[in-house]
Structure 1
Amino acid sequence: MNDQKGYNWAVLGCGVIANQLAEAMKKHGRNLYAVGNRTYEKALHFAKKYDVKIAYDNYQEIFSDDNVDIIYITTPHNTHIQFLKEALSSGKHVLCEKSITLNSQELDEAITLANDKHLILAEAMTLYHMPLYKKLDDLIKRGRIGDVNLITMNFGSYKDYNMNNRFFNRHLAGGAMLDIGIYALSFARWFLKSKPEQIVSQVKYAPTKVDEQATVLLMNNQEQMVTIALSLHSKQPKRGMISCDKGYIEVMEYPRAMEAIVTYNDRAEKEIIQLGNLSDALWYEVEDMENAVSGKENQMHLDYTKDVMDLMTEIRKAWGMRYPEEE
């Protein structure tokens, strides 16, 4: 650990998220300690761009470097469990890009290993760390808008029918549920009192046999209900709505939201809540992760991650949809 600058972070992968992480840390006076990538040239370019101290010529060295405290895994979904096991077995704390694993069995394996090693394991679900959601959670807990009764979620992204890209590629764990459905389910879980036990769903497949479009209905033991509509080939707003006794909350662009509109039943005017900064989304994750690692406060919500993974696993099981690694 570098006491002057906090924990030493290493990132595995050099894609979009890795770049956002490096930019967020640099904005706050921090640099990544190391980068590992399957292609060494890309790791070198990344290290030069962001003043990263070490670019491993063999990405496996990320696990054996004693100076690495925390590894952020940004590789494709279906590679996560392999890297999680290697990182945790090497004594590294891990923040892993969503979806953290393909299914509940893999996640349970990783959680058991993290617990055995007394390490922090977490999924990089941005909305759990955005200041706005902590504010909304407090608003609801104080009873200002009543009990949560119904949550309505939309997430639609128009992707060209290129069956070789990762969104539709079965061999890269493509499909709507793991790529965008996880945001809708994580949003819902944040505001629910417990994990839904009743699940009904429909699916439309892409030609590659991954889920292109889906609708999901959920209800928990407190009879709180959730409706979700997902699509990879039809544009929708990224909108979440929490309907309560005394009004409702609307959140647009909810994966990294900075604004919510609250409509109260007994008021003519709407309340606009603005909090947080989009460019700091990855920094909020870094702060919460370092607090958890230091033992100050664990706000990584691995319990919610587990609930969401259980739901996604059950939904895909009902569809009969498996990835090659699961066959």
Structure 2
Amino acid sequence: MTGLRWGILATGGIAHAFASDLRTAGLTLTAVGSRSAESGERFAREFDVPRVHSSYVDLVSDPDVDIVYVSTPHPMHADNAILALENGKHVLVEKPFTLNGAEAARVQDVARRTGLLAMEAMWTRYLPHMLRVRELVQEGALGDIRALTADHTQKISTDPAHRLNDIALGGGALLDLGIYPISFAWDILGAPTSVTAAANLGATGVDDEVATIFTHERGAVSTSLSASHAAGPNTASIIGTEARIDIDRVWYTPTSFRLVSPDGTVQESFESDIEGRGMQFQALAAERYVASGANDSDILPLSETVAIMDTLDEVRRQIGLRYPGEA
């Protein structure tokens, strides 16, 4: 632990989950910023936060805050992250990092100019079971990886006013849910060499279901399915010539997996045993990077985050999904 003092920008549901895991890990939560004084005060009481700011500008100007967790709706991520960076704060930005690739590149430019850490809060990549999955892949335990498949499917409210159904807030399955399996495919197989996507657009114009097929270097294929109004298995598999990894429900949260040989023999089993939801691992990683003088993540570099946003842009181009205000 480096003793970084965290500030949380916005007080929605994901901010509550993150604050709870910060407390679980014993990290220092110093301040919260909210446009609603009542919401900020309530959040501060719940998590014993000593400093409450009634604006985001006041939060990022606080000299007792070193790093800011940005948890506003998607269209606000870029401006909020840049505001924090311009005020000398490192940032951990809730995924998706921004609304699109152009916004992500803007944040990257500011981070590079200021020399500060800007990191996407893709917390799944930092979980213990994913660290072990990555080790097995890098060790060659699976042989030549030929395929990867994952779904992120949930039954969420169909209320048109719900955030996930609001196109003005970047709603839909892709940015909230599809980002997980798509980032997973990038993590294991690298950048796609081709992208194919199909979707069903709902009554509010957002994608209710979206499926992708990517090809990758050496011909490996990845597939994903994301849905916001129907719950599926939420499992994942990486399939190689010598073995496969089957990750159990819910694959993108702390869970178990098995390394299985082609004849069905289980070569290794992994069981997660952690406190909290698991969002603390990304925070601990951010603190390590800052302590070491690094201004980027070795697990999810900012350049990769920007490239993933570009891939999501291509998916949206193919399914005909554009957010208000985009060129």
TM superposition score normalised by structure 1: 0.94
Q: Is the 8 A contact 1:123 1:300 kept in 2?
A: no
For residue 248 of structure 1, what is the aligned residue in structure 2? 244
Between 273-282 and 247-256, the greater mean CA deviation after superposition: 273-282
For residue 319 of structure 1, what is the aligned residue in structure 2? 319
For residue 206 of structure 1, what is the aligned residue in structure 2? 202
Is structure 2 residue 131 aligned with structure 1 residue 134? Answer: yes
Q: Is the 8 A contact 1:31 1:52 kept in 2?
A: no
Q: Which amino acid aligns with 1:95?
A: L
Specify the SS of the correspondent of 1:32. Answer: strand
The superposition leaves residues 264-293 of structure 1 with CA deviations (integer Å, 9 ceiling, x where unpaired) of 125634532124526151211111001111
> Paired residues, what number?
323
Change (3 A) 1:232 1:278: farther
Q: Distance in 1 between matches of 2:260 and 2:293?
A: 36
Q: Is the 8 A contact 2:129 2:254 kept in 1?
A: yes
Q: Is the 8 A contact 2:253 2:277 kept in 1?
A: no
For residue 191 of structure 2, what is the aligned residue in structure 1? 195
Task: Map 1:139-288 onto structure 2 (within 5 A).
Answer: 139-192=136-189, 194-252=190-248, 253-266=250-263, 268-269=265-266, 271-277=268-274, 279=276, 281-288=278-285
Specify the SS of the correspondent of 2:153. Answer: strand
The superposition leaves residues 138-169 of structure 1 with CA deviations (integer Å, 9 ceiling, x where unpaired) of 11211222121100111211123211101111
Q: Is the 8 A contact 1:148 1:191 kept in 2?
A: no
Q: Distance in 1 between matches of 2:304 and 2:211?
A: 21
For residue 28 of structure 1, what is the aligned residue in structure 2? 25
For residue 115 of structure 1, what is the aligned residue in structure 2? 112
The structure, 1 or 2, with the larger RCO (C-alpha pairs under 8 Å, 6+ apart) is 2
Task: Tell me the percent identity.
Answer: 28
Specify the SS of the correspondent of 1:317. Answer: helix
Task: Map 1:93-104 onto structure 2 (within 5 A).
Answer: 93-104=90-101
The superposition leaves residues 227-263 of structure 1 with CA deviations (integer Å, 9 ceiling, x where unpaired) of 1112112211111110111121111212223311221
Q: Which amino acid aligns with 2:310?
A: D
For residue 303 of structure 1, what is the aligned residue in structure 2? 303
Q: Distance in 1 between matches of 2:277 and 2:231?
A: 26
Q: Give unmatched runs, 5+ long, in structure 1.
A: none
For residue 48 of structure 2, what is the aligned residue in structure 1? 51
Specify the SS of the correspondent of 1:49. Answer: helix
Q: Which amino acid aligns with 1:299?
A: D
Q: Give unmatched runs, 5+ long, in structure 2.
A: none
Q: Distance in 2 between matches of 1:223 and 1:25?
A: 41
For residue 73 of structure 1, what is the aligned residue in structure 2? 70
**Alpha-carbon shift at residue 5 of structure 1 (Å):** 7.0
Is structure 2 residue 61 aligned with structure 1 residue 64? Answer: yes
**Alpha-carbon shift at residue 121 of structure 1 (Å):** 0.4
Q: Is the 8 A contact 1:149 1:225 kept in 2?
A: yes
Q: Distance in 2 between matches of 1:122 and 1:5?
A: 17
Q: Which amino acid aligns with 1:205?
A: L
Between 63-72 and 100-109, the greater mean CA deviation after superposition: 63-72
Q: Distance in 1 between matches of 2:110 and 2:141?
A: 41
Report the RMSD for the aligned CA atoms in angstroms: 1.8
Q: Distance in 2 between matches of 1:291 and 1:270?
A: 32
Q: Is the 8 A contact 2:17 2:277 kept in 1?
A: no
Q: Distance in 1 between matches of 2:186 and 2:49?
A: 36
Find runs of 4+ consecutive structure 1 residues off by over 6 angstroms. Answer: none
The superposition leaves residues 113-147 of structure 1 with CA deviations (integer Å, 9 ceiling, x where unpaired) of 10000011011011111011111111121122212
For residue 15 of structure 1, what is the aligned residue in structure 2? 12
Change (3 A) 1:135 1:218: same
**Alpha-carbon shift at residue 32 of structure 1 (Å):** 0.8
Q: Which amino acid aligns with 2:271?
A: Q
Q: Is the 8 A contact 2:254 2:277 kept in 1?
A: no
Is structure 2 residue 48 aligned with structure 1 residue 41? Answer: no
